[in-house]
Homo-oligomer: A and B are copies of this chain.
């Protein structure tokens, strides 16, 4: 099995090293990842500028390609140009921080996996909940188990599995749950400050707890309860429930 690994924290992030190492027993692993941190890059794609690539070695050994672009750029370029054969699986991560609920819209980690789906390759995005530090080695083992099980079950070419691992500094995860995405909004706000010249600037702050009363079958609630969560994602954003109503209403013109 030919596996492409990418991320949005950059090719030198500890999460991608742990993921690549964990997946090597499952197949041939190619790493193509952003040169720099792309957190919050969402599904950015570079078409107004060229992409440069560099071979990156770690401890004297070739580790992978860095690309001066987004996770989506990395996957697109890897599949079209850098990999010798088309990857059979793409795994993006391990992100330092969870990507559940509407995070999936903002997440570069998820975007790398969604880009794979566009290209007809099954994919997983893997993120680890923050808990002060991050035990990526242990998270890598959990990711490998999830990937192996997903391959046994079979994932369709267009499917993305969004995987979140709960914080690992307390008990072991309570198990694996396949759950839907929460749509609870962020509770963010801005910290207003003044620069040395008295001009205002704004910094996004973490809000309070999101979706406190979300039902247990959402990724937000299940992760909070200590489960590894798996949410299958698609990329048709149509709001089908409104399609007919709007269509009829518009025709009454």
Asked if A44 is an interface residue, CB under 8 A from chain B, the answer is yes
A170 within 8 Å of B by Cβ? no
Do A231 and B238 have beta carbons less than 8 Å apart? yes
Taking a contact as CB atoms closer than 8 A, the residue among B47, B188, B242 that contacts A232 in the complex is: B242
Chain A, residues 99-135, CB within 8 Å of chain B (1/0): the string is 0001011100001001000111000000000000000
Most buried by B among A45, A118, A238: A238
Contact of A250 among B52, B104, B195, B230 (CB under 8 A): B230
A45 touches B51 (CB 8 A): no
Does A233 sit within 8 A of B, measured CB to CB?
yes
A80-B190, A237-B104 known; A230-B246 Cβ under 8 A: yes
A216 within 8 Å of B (CB atoms): no
Query: Taking the nearest CB of chain B, how far is it from the CB of A143, in angstroms?
Result: 15
- In the complex, chain B residues whose CB is within 8 Å of the CB of A76: 188, 190, 204
* Residues of chain B lying within 8 A (CB to CB) of residue A47: 39-40, 203-204
Is the beta-carbon distance between A46 and B40 smaller than 8 angstroms? yes
Binding site of A, secondary structure by majority: helix, strand, loop or mixed?
A: mixed
Interface size, chain A (Cβ < 8 Å): 74
Complex CA–CA separation, A40 to B253 (angstroms) = 34
Chain B nearest CB, measured from A204 CB (Å): 4
Q: How far does the Cβ of A194 sit from chain B's closest Cβ, in whole Å? A: 11
Interface membership of A85, Cβ < 8 A: no
Question: Contacting chain B: which of A10-18, A19-27, A86-94, A173-181?
Answer: A173-181
- A183 to B233 Cα, complex, angstroms: 13
C-alpha gap A49/B123 in the complex (Å): 30
A130-171 near B? 1/0 per residue, CB < 8 Å: 000000000000000000010001001001110000000000
Q: Jot down 15 A-B pairs with beta carbons below 8 A, ordered by A.
A: A40-B47, A42-B43, A50-B193, A50-B201, A51-B202, A51-B203, A53-B202, A76-B190, A80-B188, A105-B235, A149-B253, A160-B239, A176-B253, A178-B243, A231-B238
